Structure 1
Amino acid sequence: MSLHARARSALSSWIAPDAAQDALRRDYLAHLDRHPDAMWRSCLPGHLTASTAIIDPSGRRAVLTLHSKLKLWLQVGGHCEADDASLAAAALREATEESGIRGLRLLPEPVRLDRHTVPCGGGSWHLDVQYAAVAPGDAVLARVEDESDDLDWFPVDDVPDPSDDACRRLVAAAAAAVRAA
């Protein structure tokens, strides 16, 4: 099964937490149906991406990265790659690469979706599928120089500025999911 088909399957079976998230889920599915290349950066109307809020085992702290281009504190994540078996695999790969944390445990289902504009290809959409991952208790951060300007732990109820509401919503949802797991 292709990454495109796996993404469609994952989003088809995902139970959204509210009506707005379900409407976004249906929009993502329609986008996948219209664009055979929807998983790739080359799909300039917009493409699916995968991101992760990394949460400590207590559900009280989150890892955020100071994005080198956007200059915002955000979750880790990014574009799918040809070797990714699924959106979840892409999310876990990106989280591991960008945080340096080994042994992350990704929760099996997305926690949120977020569609936002980005400068890719002169202006495009990221249709972000957002996951939560639990870091090991002894996690050590290792910032990747070309990925971010900084990387640190923050209280889930005190996301630093500058950030955005989408990141704050994801961190809150991820922390709740980790505490419930």
Structure 2
Amino acid sequence: MASDMIRFVETNPNCAERSLQIGHLTGSAWIVDRERKRTLLTHHRKLNKWLQLGGHADGELNPLAVAMREASEESGLTRLRVISEKIFDVDRHLIPARKTEPDHWHYDIRFMIEADPDELLSISDESHDLAWIEIARMADYNAEESMLRMARKTLVSALT
């Protein structure tokens, strides 16, 4: 997975631009509570499924900055804390075609971010809903390997 992403970035100087129709970089925030038992998910309006918060780079080459911007825009959270600047996870997933764009790949770079579940949430127009869920119950919300992998990593890290 990481080697595919590196090859994509090296061969596409405009990899952070949505105009690159074969695919583009995205940044995501895997938002967790202090105890690493819950994560904040968005019920994505276009894809109609529960996902971590994140979005298009829109020319920004710093994926952590993208993840933080998107997390704030999509949740209204203002007290986000970067747990580590190390990449938490990477994923490549196919986005289905829509009226104005062909199907294309998202090369997603993900970071673990901490937030306070008591902070007021604000649902953006990109979401049907936002919810703090128990990480151990991820499969009840989204059983895709990409989501389960992040859940497993979090649960293992909470034990150490």
The normalised TM-score by structure 2 is: 0.87
Measured in 2, the distance between the counterparts of 1:53 and 1:86 equals 16
Measured in 2, the distance between the counterparts of 1:64 and 1:38 equals 26
Query: How far is the alpha carbon of 1:100 from its aligned partner?
Result: 1.1
Aligned to 1:60: 37
Aligned to 1:113: 90
Change (3 A) 1:137 1:153: closer
Q: Indicate conservation of the 8 Å contact 1:53/1:174, yes or no.
A: no
Q: Deviations over 1:7-58 (max 9, x none)?
A: xxxxxxxxxxxxxxxxx22221111111111111111121111111110011
Q: 1:101 aligns with which of 65, 77, 85?
A: 77
Measured in 1, the distance between the counterparts of 2:33 and 2:141 equals 20
SS at match of 1:158: helix
Identical columns (%)? 33
SS at match of 1:126: strand
Residues matched between the structures, number: 155
Measured in 2, the distance between the counterparts of 1:180 and 1:103 equals 25
Measured in 1, the distance between the counterparts of 2:129 and 2:117 equals 21
Query: How far is the alpha carbon of 1:161 from its aligned partner?
Result: 3.0
Measured in 2, the distance between the counterparts of 1:69 and 1:28 equals 24
Q: Which runs of 5+ in 1 are unaligned?
A: 1-23
More helix by share: 1
Q: Deviations over 1:125-173 (max 9, x none)?
A: 00111111000363222111x1100101000110233552212222332
Query: How far is the alpha carbon of 1:70 from its aligned partner?
Result: 1.1
More strand by share: 2
Aligned to 2:136: 157
Q: Deviations over 1:35-92 (max 9, x none)?
A: 111111111121111111110011001000101011111100010134x461100001
Aligned to 1:126: 106
Q: 2:147 aligns with which of 142, 164, 167?
A: 167
